[in-house]
């Protein structure tokens, strides 16, 4: 399914999510795991659009989400930094989701430099994440 | 604020709503009022996008919705049939919302012909509306 660039931007402005989870994880050096993720969730009736996104970005997976919803997800640091982030830098989101995107990008760039593997870098990431996905912080 | 055509299609695929209400209304000839409405609701932080839609379509209003949300609404039969419907005919929605759109269009066309003013037309409209906005019916 062919998707136009600006259609993708508009759709992600409505339905996309740039999220970073910081989980406690005993086997990690500092005891925490940082998981950035780009997702678009849709009712299973529109799964073909999620496959369209996967095809367009040439990365990620389409998987079952909750209930009768499906999700397109990109978790690979390489794909986030080389495919997803450059796309939304070139074609900016128009909603305030663009602010989330820039925080997300900052986390991914820090992780690429291995910042999540030392405590000051991890603190910086946790500071950014605390301000993300909080309605009042935007 | 300039909005690209395909951005609007993508955003409405995510956030738009084509809705028809059929209300009991004592002063109407048949006792019912048919109210088709195109709406896009956003958090007030993104109200500039709703004004962008209003500017693009050159019709409708931006008003307070529930809580801290704002809504762009088009209710005029003239504006629906001459501005909103032709746009989404020329630039089709890609989600299953396109099916809702076509039912909505059918209702608006029937109303333009005054079908809602006689009982068989009103029955036809009510039959279409019953099948709209029902997840299982799509």
A19-51 residue pLDDT tens: 999 988 877 777 888 999 999 999 999 999 999
Report the C-alpha gap between B35 and A59 in whole angstroms.
44
CA angle A54, B13, B64 (to 5 degrees): 135
Q: How many CB pairs under 8 A join A and B?
A: 68
Fold classification of B5-137 is Endonuclease I-creI (3.10.28)
What CA–CA distance (Å, rounded) separates A71 from A113? 28
Measured between CB atoms, which of A11, A46, A138 is closest to B10?
A11
pLDDT band at B138; cut points 50, 70, 90: very low
Q: What is the structure's pLDDT at B49?
A: 97
| pLDDT attached to residue A115 | 82
For residue A137, pLDDT beyond 50: no
- Is the predicted pLDDT of residue B63 greater than 60, yes or no? yes
Of B9, B43, B138, Cβ closest to residue A10: B9
Low-confidence winner among A58-72, A99-113, B20-34, B101-115 (lowest mean pLDDT): B20-34
Phi, psi of B115, deg, nearest 5: -60, -25
| Contact present, A51 and A62 (Cβ < 8 Å) | yes
Residue with tokens 């900052």: A106
Exposed e or buried b per residue across B61-92, where buried means at least 16 C-beta atoms within 10 angstroms of its C-beta: ebeebeeeebbbbbebeebbbebbbebbeeee
- Per-residue pLDDT at A69: 96
Task: Tell me the chain B residues in contact with residue A12 when contact means C-beta distances shorter than 8 Å.
Answer: 10
Predicted pLDDT of residue B137: 39
**What is the distance between the alpha carbons of residues A119 and B95, in angstroms, rounded to a whole number?**
44
Q: In this predicted complex, what is the ipTM? A: 0.89
Which residue in the set A9, A46, A135 is minimally distant from B10, CB to CB?
A9
Domain boundaries, chain A: 5-76+89-132
**Mean pLDDT score, B1-21:** 95
To the nearest 10°, report the CA torsion of B18, A13, B57, B13: -30
A80-93 pLDDT, tens digit each: 999 999 999 999 99
CA distance A74 to chain B (A): 19
CATH of A5-76+89-132, one of 3.10.28.10, 3.30.590.10, 1.10.10.10, 3.30.70.270: 3.10.28.10
pLDDT top residue among B16 and B24: B16
CA angle, B58 then B64 then B66, to 5°: 130
State chain A's mean pLDDT as an integer.
Answer: 92
> What integer pLDDT is reported at residue B134 of this predicted model?
64
Task: Give the dihedral sign, CA B104/B16/B32/B99.
Answer: positive
């Amino acid at each position: 399914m062919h998707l136009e660039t600006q259609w993708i931007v508009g759709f992600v402005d409505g339905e996309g999510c740039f999220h970073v989870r910081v989980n406690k994880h005993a086997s990690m050096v500092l005891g925490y795991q940082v998981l950035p993720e780009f997702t678009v969730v849709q009712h299973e009736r529109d799964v073909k659009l999620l496959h369209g996104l996967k095809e367009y970005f040439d990365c990620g997976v389409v998987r079952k989400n909750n209930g009768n919803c499906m999700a397109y997800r990109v978790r690979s640091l390489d794909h986030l930094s080389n495919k997803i982030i450059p796309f939304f830098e070139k074609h900016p989101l128009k909603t305030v989701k663009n602010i989330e995107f820039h925080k997300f990008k900052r986390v991914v760039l820090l992780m690429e430099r291995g910042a999540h593997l030392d405590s000051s870098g991890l603190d910086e990431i946790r500071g950014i994440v605390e301000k993300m996905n909080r309605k009042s912080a935007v």
